[in-house]
Amino acid sequence: MVTLGSGSRAHLEREPHWNQLFTTKCVACKYPIEAGDRWVEALGNAFHSNCFNCTRCHSNLEGESFFAKNGQPYCKMHA
């Protein structure tokens, strides 16, 4: 059971738990994807746009054709 707290500190006590449970995190860097962030949904996961890169050469794949091997994104050259 989780106690949410009450009074003026209730918001502060709840926020970390809410973020852990409900914030979408980038699968690559593990940081939250926040409002206004550019992000990509691919391979059943969410990535910051800057984090959606080829597994081998690390070239950015946002807006590019890519291939999946073992659930990881690869550019055309390394597919």
Percent of the chain topping pLDDT 90: 70
Whether pLDDT at 4 is above 90:
no
Q: Where are the domains of the chain?
A: 20-78
Query: In terms of Cα–Cα distance, which of 72, 40, 38 is closest to 58?
Result: 72
Is the domain covering 20-78 a CATH 2.10.110.10 domain?
yes
Minimum mean pLDDT among 2-6, 25-29, 56-60, 71-75: which range? Answer: 2-6
The SS3 of residue 74 is strand
pLDDT in tens, 10-25: 554 556 665 666 789 9
Full-model pTM: 0.72
Q: Is 12 helix (H, G, I), strand (E, B) or coil?
A: helix
pLDDT at res. 14: 56
